[in-house]
């Protein structure tokens, strides 16, 4: 016993020592950090990485982040996108049932890592990854799963993974690095409000059409600092060139920077004075020329011009333009003039307008002369290919810089157009072009002045005096109603062209007889509406038995086509659309001069514009329908699956019928499922509202969204949207919120309580 006891004591001390080493860098449940200038962060055991609050220079704000703690500039490698910047006094807590919770000084929750069960402790490890450890699981949440612009050694990105570029304000930028389902690693830009993805400007080429097992499966950042794509067959596609890394002890990171370039950096762990991050590899080679397309703004913002300095783009506003946001020099530029051709008199066009010769160009491979509308996109600095002349109204450029080049007088019909002239057309050709544009501008003005009553106005200004067209004019505009865009409750829609604008012409079904006065009143009512989430009415025809409406053309079809296609649309894009549609309905219900009840909210009546903004169509037309035109029972307006219960009861119908329909629509947007689906003749029809309530009661939102990882990562918003949808479909209309409150709840301005069972009346009966 005398021999055994010391060994047991030694073994106990040894195990205790090991245990203490293992928890070094760990964070216990209940721990918290407060955003103050001298706050101590949670450090990794190597003390190389820190989790906590960094103060933003020159402000009283802080950013919740992970950073390199031994590097003088404290380079940030992670932050919760969109919720990182907070005021002094904010806190982050590690809570047993909630994980990491960031709250403002008033205690309001700003961000959370998501509901977590079985939480044991947090751990800031030596790879820069903050991990939440469970009692029975080594990893139930990690920062590596939510990269914010940066990848680190040991980090892996699977198919479907996305890294957004990082902005100076710690929000996701407009550039994306994605590993597509087909195995290609791509870089692309996105439209931030809608999350619409533009064409890729870098493609790795790791997709094998002949053998899918040779396609990319993972992007791996190796411990030694080499970044590569691993294929399904185990082959390795190097991103970091072999032998490119220096020998020695270095930190490594790969960052999608705010300029859209994906760069790999290294930094010595034993730095000398003036040491900085060095670039070892980057794509694309020339960001200014890699991004193309007529809808994207290019490497720089709209009206901004790109030039290259080494591997970094420099964005500059051209002469006559100024930056919109001084804190974002690579963002959009605004004109310091009025590009217009209004009020041109036959003899003074040359006196009212001049041309500025720009020292920058927009690339055209054919060196042709062509017109380009504002805003300019894909501007690049190049003096040998083409030159640009920009027309402006005299007196509107009061602050142009000294040394403005000689100006050429002229005009043009298109008030938003630039005339881009090939270098081969300079000299006398420019003079001829300018003279011709003056003649054309004056000629069009005279013609337009004579036909003012029958011409589609170029500026789509909403007023009660909408242009009235003859039926024959619309027959001509639609080429005999040849190109059908779609059919709906209210009629058939055709594609047409009036002037130079593509429009949608809706031929209404038979309306209530002797309703000319009502038709005009309703047209005027719709014309008074003006909201970015409503399809705009541009004109009408009221001739004999013909009733037609002319609307703005929506290039991307209906929300139904978008939601129920083969590929599930991104969650961010869907959630953005839902809020926009809610705002449009709120406007119709509460902000119009006369309240408008839509009566037929459904995905087929939500149209998508060039940037996939959702816009409500056919509002205000329900009053014009004959009673027997309803798609369901006589006297009931709407579409099966979206109809509020009060339509079937002898009670007044209010705006709450639209709230019910929106609730069904919101559940469709969340799940990408249709409101009614015929599963089989034996099983009958699957009702989405029933499924939503069942899954909500069971707390199975993952099943409702069919494991949509993007939606599940945004769990708080997903839960909020789900609850709002269930409140909207309450059988008791008094329990449904107004659309104004719906908007506030969706945007997080109003707390959402637990919804009751939506259909208690139906159950008890």
Active site residues: 600
Residues 6+ positions from 432 with CB-CB distance below 8 Å:
none
d(CA 642, CA 688): 10
d(CA 214, CA 233): 5
Angle at 716 between CA 712 and CA 718, to 5 degrees: 55
**Cβ contacts of 173-177, under 8 Å, gap ≥ 24:** 173/149, 173/256, 173/258, 173/260, 174/260, 175/256, 175/258, 175/260, 176/256, 177/256, 177/262
d(CA 541, CA 503): 14
141-142 sheet: strands from edge to edge: 26-28, 119-124, 130-134, 141-142
Do residues 98 and 111 touch, judged by C-beta distance below 8 A?
no
d(CA 386, CA 655): 57
d(CA 625, CA 637): 9
Structure-token match 């080499």, residue found: 226
Tokens in use for 468?
Answer: 């009235």
d(CA 116, CA 133): 10
Q: Select from 304, 273, 484 the least CA-distant residue to 378.
A: 304
- Distances 452 to 288, 449, 698 between C-alpha atoms, Å: 44, 5, 63
d(CA 83, CA 64): 9
Tokens in use for 75?
Answer: 């380079």
Q: Select from 221, 52, 229 the least CA-distant residue to 152.
A: 221
């Amino acid at each position: 016993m005398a021999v055994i006891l010391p060994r047991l004591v030694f073994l106990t001390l040894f195990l205790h020592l090991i245990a203490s080493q293992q928890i070094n860098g760990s964070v216990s449940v209940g721990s918290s950090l407060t955003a103050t200038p001298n706050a101590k962060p949670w450090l990794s055991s190597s003390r190389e990485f820190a989790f906590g609050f960094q103060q933003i220079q020159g402000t009283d704000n802080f950013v919740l982040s992970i950073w390199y703690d031994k590097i003088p500039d404290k380079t940030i490698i992670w932050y919760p996108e969109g919720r990182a910047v907070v005021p002094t006094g904010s806190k982050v807590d590690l809570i047993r049932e909630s994980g990491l919770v960031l709250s403002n000084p008033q205690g309001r929750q700003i961000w959370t890592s998501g509901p977590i069960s079985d939480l044991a402790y947090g751990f800031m490890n030596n790879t820069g990854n903050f991990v939440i450890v469970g009692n029975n699981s080594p990893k139930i949440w990690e920062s590596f799963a939510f990269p914010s612009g940066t990848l680190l050694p040991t980090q892996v990105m699977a198919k479907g993974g996305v890294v957004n570029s990082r902005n100076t304000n710690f929000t996701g930028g407009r550039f994306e690095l994605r590993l597509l389902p087909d195995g290609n690693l791509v870089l692309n830009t996105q439209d931030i409000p809608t999350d619409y993805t533009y064409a890729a400007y870098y493609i790795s080429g790791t997709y094998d059409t002949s053998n899918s097992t040779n396609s990319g499966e993972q992007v791996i950042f190796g411990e030694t600092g080499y970044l590569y794509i691993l294929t399904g067959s185990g082959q390795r596609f190097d991103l970091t060139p072999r032998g490119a890394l220096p020998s020695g002890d270095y930190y490594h990171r790969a960052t999608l920077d705010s300029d859209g370039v994906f760069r790999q950096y290294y930094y010595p762990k034993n730095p000398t004075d003036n040491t900085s991050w060095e670039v070892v590899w980057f794509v694309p080679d020339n960001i200014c020329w890699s991004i193309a397309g007529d809808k994207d703004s290019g490497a720089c913002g709209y009206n901004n011009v790109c030039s290259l300095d080494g591997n970094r783009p420099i964005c500059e506003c051209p002469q006559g333009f100024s930056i919109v946001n001084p804190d974002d020099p690579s963002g959009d530029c605004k004109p310091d003039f009025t590009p217009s051709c209004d009020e041109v008199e036959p003899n003074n066009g040359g006196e009212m307008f001049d041309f500025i010769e720009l020292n920058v160009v927009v690339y055209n491979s054919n060196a042709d002369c062509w017109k380009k509308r504002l805003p300019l996109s894909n501007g690049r600095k190049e003096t040998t290919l083409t030159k640009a002349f920009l027309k402006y109204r005299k007196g509107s450029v009061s602050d142009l810089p000294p040394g403005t080049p000689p100006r050429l007088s002229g005009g043009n019909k298109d008030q938003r157009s630039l005339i881009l002239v090939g270098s081969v057309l300079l000299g006398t050709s420019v003079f001829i072009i300018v003279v011709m544009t003056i003649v054309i501008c004056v000629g069009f003005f005279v013609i337009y002045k004579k036909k003012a009553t029958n011409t589609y106005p170029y500026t789509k200004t909403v007023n009660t005096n909408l242009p009235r067209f003859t039926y024959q004019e619309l027959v001509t505009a639609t080429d005999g109603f040849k190109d059908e865009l779609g059919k709906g409750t209210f009629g058939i829609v055709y594609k047409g062209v009036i002037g130079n604008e593509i429009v949608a012409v809706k031929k209404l079904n038979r309306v209530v007889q002797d309703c000319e006065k009502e038709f005009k009143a309703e047209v005027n009512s719709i014309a008074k509406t003006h909201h970015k989430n409503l399809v705009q009415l541009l004109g009408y025809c009221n001739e004999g038995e013909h009733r037609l409406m002319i609307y703005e053309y929506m290039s991307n079809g209906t929300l139904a086509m978008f939601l129920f296609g083969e590929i599930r649309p991104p969650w961010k894009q869907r959630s953005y659309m839902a809020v926009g549609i809610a705002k449009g309905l709120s406007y119709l219900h509460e902000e119009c001069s006369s309240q408008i009840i839509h009566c037929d909210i459904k995905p087929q009546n939500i149209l998508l514009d060039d940037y996939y903004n959702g816009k409500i169509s056919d509002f205000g037309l329900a009053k014009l329908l004959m009673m027997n035109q309803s798609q369901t029972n006589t006297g009931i307006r709407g579409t099966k699956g979206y109809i509020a219960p009060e339509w079937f009861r002898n009670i007044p119908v209010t705006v709450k019928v639209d709230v019910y329909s929106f609730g069904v629509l919101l559940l469709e947007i969340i799940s990408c499922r249709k409101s009614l689906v015929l599963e089989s003749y034996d099983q009958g029809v699957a009702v989405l509202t029933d499924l939503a309530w069942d899954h909500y009661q069971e707390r199975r939102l993952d099943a409702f969204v069919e494991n949509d990882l993007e939606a599940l990562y945004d769990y708080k918003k997903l839960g909020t949207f789900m609850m709002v949808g269930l409140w909207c479909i309450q059988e008791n209309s008094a329990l449904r919120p107004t659309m104004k409150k719906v908007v506030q709840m969706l945007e997080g301005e109003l707390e959402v309580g637990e919804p009751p069972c939506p259909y208690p009346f139906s159950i008890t009966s």
